[in-house]
Amino acid sequence: MSINRKAIREKIAKRAEKEIYDGAYVNLGIGMPTMVANYISENKQVILQSENGLLGIGPFPTEEELDPDLINAGKETVTTVDGASYFSSAESFAMIRGGHIDVAILGAMEVAENGDLANWMIPGKMIKGMGGAMDLVHGAKKVVIIMEHVNRHGEPKIVDKCSLPLTGKRVVDRIITDRAVIDVTDEGLILKEIIGEYSFEEIQSSTEPTLKKGY
């Protein structure tokens, strides 16, 4: 049976939107997190920030709205909301490092039980660099990770200990996957929600660390 990855990513992005509250300043990481911009409720006034120097990102553009000069940090074309502003990368990172970002929503390849995050490289593969992830995980007030629960081989992405190079240690607050919402706490991983028709046992079997019920 083929897996509709687009539908899975959309489901995760829609759930992640609930983590954004009215009035928040939010950074959406490269990849799946940028999809969250398309689902932000009209009842919320949210300011989206991009590391390349843009405050006030809107949804992805339609063909008529497309402007090749207007991009986010992942080089994807975007739109802006009324009142958007442009500035240098230095000012952008001053916002991040100064603790002015309320929520950062990022992707990941692995998250450890203690909140360690690996999301920037796989050894042996060509990469451009870590980008702004290292700054975001230490500067944002809340770090939310969104990802599929298992990798393409069916192996857990929520692990006892990360095997890939770390982006940050003990930085993750919440994990949202296509199967569950899990909080990282000093007492361990707390399963807050089950998404879809999964049982607790099925979620646990696809998660390396022991989960505690919190719903």
Catalytic residues: 51
CB neighbour class for 90 (10 Å; exposed up to 12, middle 13-18, buried from 19)? exposed
Query: What's the token pair of residue 44?
Result: 């919320």
**Residue corresponding to tokens 């920037």:** 120
Cα–Cα distance, 25 to 122 (Å, whole number): 30
Query: What's the token pair of residue 172?
Result: 């993750």
Cα–Cα distance, 200 to 61 (Å, whole number): 39
Q: Which of 118, 101, 98 shows the shortest CA–CA distance to 172?
A: 118
What is the amino acid identity at position 13?
A
Query: What's the token pair of residue 194?
Result: 């089950």
Those residues whose C-beta lies under 8 Å from the C-beta of residue 125, and which sit 6 or more positions away, are none
